[in-house]
Chains A and B, each alone.
Chain A
Amino acid sequence: MTANDRPNRWKRYEVWDARPLRLDGFAAEDPEHGFCAANSPYDPRPGLKVEDGRVVEMDGVAEADFDMIDIFIARHHLDPAAATEAMARDSLEVARMLVDIDVPRRDVVRLAAGMTPAKLVEVLGHLNATELTFANSKLRCRNRPANQAHVTNAKDDPVQMAADAATAALFGFDEIETTVRVARNGRSNAIACAVGAAAARNGTLIQCSVEEAEELRLGMAGFTSYTETMSVYGTEATFVDGDDTPWSKAFLTAAYASRGLKARCTSGSSSELLMGVHERKSMLYLEARCLCLQRAMGVQGTQNGGIDGAPLSASVPGGLWEILAENVLAAWLDLECASGNDTRFTESEIRVGAKIVPHLMSGTDFICSGFGSVQAYDNSFNASLFNGEEFEDFLAIQRDYLIDGGLSHVAEDDVLACRQRAIDAVTAVLEGLGAAPLNEAQKQSVLLASGSRETDSFTPAGVAALNAALQAERTTALDVIRILARRGFEPEAERLVMMLRQRAAGDYLQTSAIIRDGRVLSAVNDPNDYLGPGSGYRISAERRGAIAAMRNVLSSKEVLHQETRPSREERRRYALIEGGVAAKGSDAREVVIGVSPAFGTKIHRTTAGLPLSQVLRRLMTGIAEGGGSARVVRLGHTADTSFLGLSAARLAGSGIGIGIQAKGTTVIHRSDLAPHMNLELFSMAPLITLDDYQAIGRNAALYAQRQAPEPIVVPYGGEALGARFHVRTALLHALDTELSDPSAEPRDLEVRFHES
């Protein structure tokens, strides 16, 4: 017998088994085999011995035993001027400095330059998740947070790529990273992203992730402006398997800068574990080595925080703490941090949300590296933490906390106009470069497509032919600019020229650079100056507007407007004719239905969408069925359910009343009870059906005859009713409350139904 069919298993486990979470892999903590987030028993103790300005021992390893990573760190990372003091400092004291608003960032950054990997890790070990988040808000290099998008598609279709690049740029992404499905397609992808982004805004950094030499060539041809795929590893064997050394990577870093291209390295925990050589060290310790190495190489920044290894890091206890600590360490080492959040490390949407929150709270140079701006199936890097499908979830979280995650709300019409412009521009360019023209239907398919399954434009064969021609013709960005200018796309051409001018100036080579409105913003001219409340980056009124805006927001005016049509329909169904002041009835079978001020006057449907005429009819039918007689009264003095019910009960000959709000909330009350001690309350108006209302009437009549009917249960499926209805409910109830007048007398209502 297996565990699953054991008869005495708590059934809740079956519920849990069905959750997406159960698709996630969880690993036992096992430092021996590298499954350890931090503090492996095999991690070295911090230590540094310097003789005559030369490092002779570092983190317990003598110079003679240094591997190539140790050598590079000892020679190029450690700042002798800071090392003695930094290593002598108590790690707990430094940890406290990291979260002390009275200690400026530069003081702790100076100390990091004198610390060994094990020392840096020891300091971070004193910080919990909240403290890491707080430290990050002080340590990140650039004041303004930003975000990066993946823009790819399953067909390498340049027209869709341009439309999607434009869309991404319009929503606020400062960097766009693309890659290829077919290795040879780099050129058309890069051109499409550059032209598309230029259709949306003035200044987007573009990357096309391909083989190193080809990537450098794409940059030199002027299509791309940055790279981030220079992988760095924390063990020597893994580094060599990655076909590089710190010296080859340092050289490549200089080579990119020599061609005016922004560069960042990629590291991220668990890559060593994935590649098989972890030396039994913890993930955080290995990543600390990677980051010291990157600072030593002189690269301006890093893409780290799990990256491809994120699912593995997340499988161990403290995995997400470790990933956050890596990002904090990058910032502390004064490196631009594109902070991961670019891998769908889990099938649980709850874990996705929990993953992003610390990064959004603190802000990072690039929250995601990158955000899957396209549909997940179109992402050639594989699904990201957030994808095109979940775009608005991210916007909602920004709005919830009034946090700047780099993105903005954009109106639907603006998206379409921008996509159209990008499609027109890129097809003009592609035609100018010799590609076969697309017809209007093909363009239209891209304009409206959410993903490549809905497009009918370029075929894979067409893209391959195009790239062969681009390569043969040695096409450069200048050819693209000329075509744009000649075919009526001067603004896009000017924006691409601006990017080339920026390249000659070299300002975006500095740490954490982005380009907004044609201007470079980096850690040099927009440095993080956070020193507690009232300092650092605060969202402007304009930014607040862009973050607060949302699709389909409800307002009081909108809710009232939505009642116009039902009002006309209801007038054909029935009339409520107000009579004199209602007196107490004498019929012992009488049940009074007390309706609220807006019932049938301003509001005509319950929150479940039921017409109030039908609701009233079914209540009255139910009362008759139960052997009672119904009287309807307008209660003008209150819109509160309990008081509506109690007032109705006190007017009823039987002492039993039904109170009903215009939005459908209903109560059965008895005249001798306390206001909030009713007989039956139906508070979940969105779930109440017409049959329920009839049953409510019937029960009321039975109570009137001093019987004890079975209480009515309105079935509830566990929906988040508050999320779905509270905005509407609150606005509707406000209308009801506004109309009530404490001095109003109850009035008898004659109900005339015009149709059966």
Chain B
Amino acid sequence: MSPEDRKQLEARYPVGEKRPAEVHSRSWRRLDEIALEAIVDGTLGIEDIGISAEGLRRQAEIARLAGRETLARNFDRAAELVEVPSDLVLEVYELLRPGRAADERPLLAMAARMREEHGALRIAELIEEAAGVYRRRGLFRKRF
């Protein structure tokens, strides 16, 4: 890491300490709005607590500055999933497990859905790559 990168990192991370005003949760709550009074009042719901896509991309930039490219890519993929409903997230996971899909088609359809409906380009790529490998390695065979 260059001294310049290190300085940048020190200025930006941890964002909760160094740049709290720039961070907001999934539902656009500032960090200081995530407070006991708001919870006791009931003005804050559990859905307000989640990390935002922007927050994850910010962590991806930090990971890149720290020299962790693969970790950064994971955060970029995660950013695409923030707004994907949890049931759908679990459905994609299930579909990616060995033997769940009988052939490539459900995977490719899911990839298209992630790309088109959720703008999840990297996730779509990951699913498409899986489809190709599963075909090559015979991972579509039923296991139970």
Contact = CB atoms under 8 A, between A and B. Distances in A.
Interface of A: 67-68, 71-72, 75-77, 79, 106, 109-110, 212-213, 216-217, 220-222, 236, 240, 243-245, 247-248, 250-260, 295-300, 334, 476-478, 481-482, 485-486, 490, 493-494, 497, 500-507, 509-511, 519-520, 522-525, 527
B109 interface: no
A502 B17 CA distance: 10
Contacts of A482: 39-40, 42
A contact patch SS: helix
A579 to B, nearest CB: 78
A504 B81 contact: no
24 contacts: A68-B133, A216-B86, A220-B50, A244-B97, A244-B98, A245-B130, A245-B134, A250-B126, A251-B127, A253-B74, A257-B74, A258-B56, A259-B50, A259-B86, A297-B74, A482-B40, A482-B42, A485-B39, A504-B23, A504-B24, A504-B34, A505-B55, A507-B13, A519-B17
Contacts of B55: 504-506
Interface in B1-54: 1, 9-10, 13-17, 20, 23-26, 29, 31, 34-36, 39-40, 42, 44-46, 49-52
A420 B126 CA distance: 50
B141 to A, nearest CB: 10
Contacts, number: 211
B63 to A, nearest CB: 7
Given A68-B133, A222-B49, A505-B31, A212 B93 contact: yes
B112 interface: no
A243 B98 contact: yes
B121 interface: no
A5 to B, nearest CB: 52
A481 B84 CA distance: 27
Contacts of A501: 16, 31, 34
A490 B35 CA distance: 12
Interface of B: 1, 9-10, 13-17, 20, 23-26, 29, 31, 34-36, 39-40, 42, 44-46, 49-52, 55-56, 58-59, 62-63, 66-75, 77-82, 84, 86, 89-90, 92-93, 96-99, 123, 126-127, 129-130, 133-134, 137, 139, 143
Contacts of B99: 240
Contact of A505 (B23, B39, B44): B23
A524 B62 CA distance: 8
A525 B59 CA distance: 13
B34 A255 contact: no
B77 A298 contact: yes
A478 B96 contact: no
Nearest to A244: B97
Contact of A257 (B20, B58, B75, B96): B75
A222 B99 CA distance: 32
Interface hub of B23, B45, B98 (most chain A Cβ within 10 A): B98
Contact of B93 (A75, A110, A248): A248
A481 B89 contact: no
Nearest to A71: B133
Contact of B70 (A297, A502, A505, A525): A297
Interface hub of B36, B129, B134, B139 (most chain A Cβ within 10 A): B36
Given A258-B80, A478-B49, A505-B14, 7 more contacts: A216-B90, A245-B130, A257-B77, A299-B71, A299-B74, A481-B40, A505-B51
A109 B34 CA distance: 38
A504 B134 contact: no
Contacts of B68: 334, 511
Contacts of B82: 258
B128 to A, nearest CB: 10
B93 A255 contact: yes
A497 B39 contact: yes
A520 B17 CA distance: 9
Contacts of B50: 220, 259-260, 503-504
Given A478-B44, A497-B35, A524-B62, A255 B78 contact: yes
Given A298-B74, A507-B15, A509-B59, A79 B69 contact: yes
